[in-house]
Amino acid sequence: MKPVHPDASTVAPMIDVDTTGIASDASPHDVFMRAALEAARRGMLAGEPPVGACLVADGEIVVTRSNAVIGELDITAHAEMRVIREACRQLRKLDLSGSTLYVTVEPCLMCLTACHYAGIGKVVYGAGIADMNAVTGNELAAAPANDLPLKLEGGCLAAECRGLIVTWSGSRQAGSVS
Ligand SMILES: [Zn+2]
């Protein structure tokens, strides 16, 4: 399979997103995507956006979750984030390298970044994010209600903040903090 789909230009370059084979009847991805689809359907019945995800390691499903932003009143409770959180808890580790995340809709930047931090090696998705944006609008591009863009201001108490990092780094090297 090709490592990167030619239409994956909207995806952060840190992760290979492979969409090849998804449309094939013989795709080995289908079983896992069907598990993600089932979670998406359950979520939709519960009033959530219809997105489901599952994490697969060594050919086995580790965790399957739906989106739950509404039920959990958690704006970060995307299906992928919930899968990653639960997989790390179940497997008692932060490194999910070697695993593949299946998700019914192309991940947003938050979820792709979480995949990157978790070391997930591959993301397989069904619908494109444009399919969701066609219904919800492009949430990342939309201005907040007050019509002001998100502001980013750096340097506030920077010396103290940097000092904590230096202290933490020293502790890690001494083995007292992991
Ligand atoms: Zn997301």
Q: Give the confidence band of 172 by pLDDT, cuts at 50, 70, 90.
A: confident
- The residue that leads in pLDDT, 1 or 94, is 94
Q: Among this protein's residues, is 106 annotated catalytic?
A: no
Give the strands of the sheet with 52-57, arranged side by side.
60-66, 52-57, 100-105, 122-127
Radius of gyration, CA atoms only, the chain: 19
Range of lowest pLDDT (33-37, 83-87, 117-121, 158-162): 158-162
Cα of 154 from ligand 1 centre, angstroms: 25
Beta strands 100-105 and 60-66: pairing type? unpaired
Cα of 111 from ligand 1 centre, angstroms: 4
Give the tens place of pLDDT for each residue, 104-144: 999 999 999 999 999 999 999 999 988 988 888 877 776 55
pLDDT score recorded for residue 142: 64
Q: What is the SS3 assignment for 40-68? A: HHHHHHCCCCCCEEEEEECCEEEEEEECC
Whether 115 contacts 15, CB under 8 Å: yes
- The residue that leads in pLDDT, 19 or 101, is 101
Q: Which residue in 80, 139, 153, 160 is the catalytic one?
A: 80
Confidence (pTM): 0.78
Cα of 167 from ligand 1 centre, angstroms: 33
Give the tens place of pLDDT for each residue, 42-60: 999 999 999 999 999 999 9
pLDDT score recorded for residue 15: 54
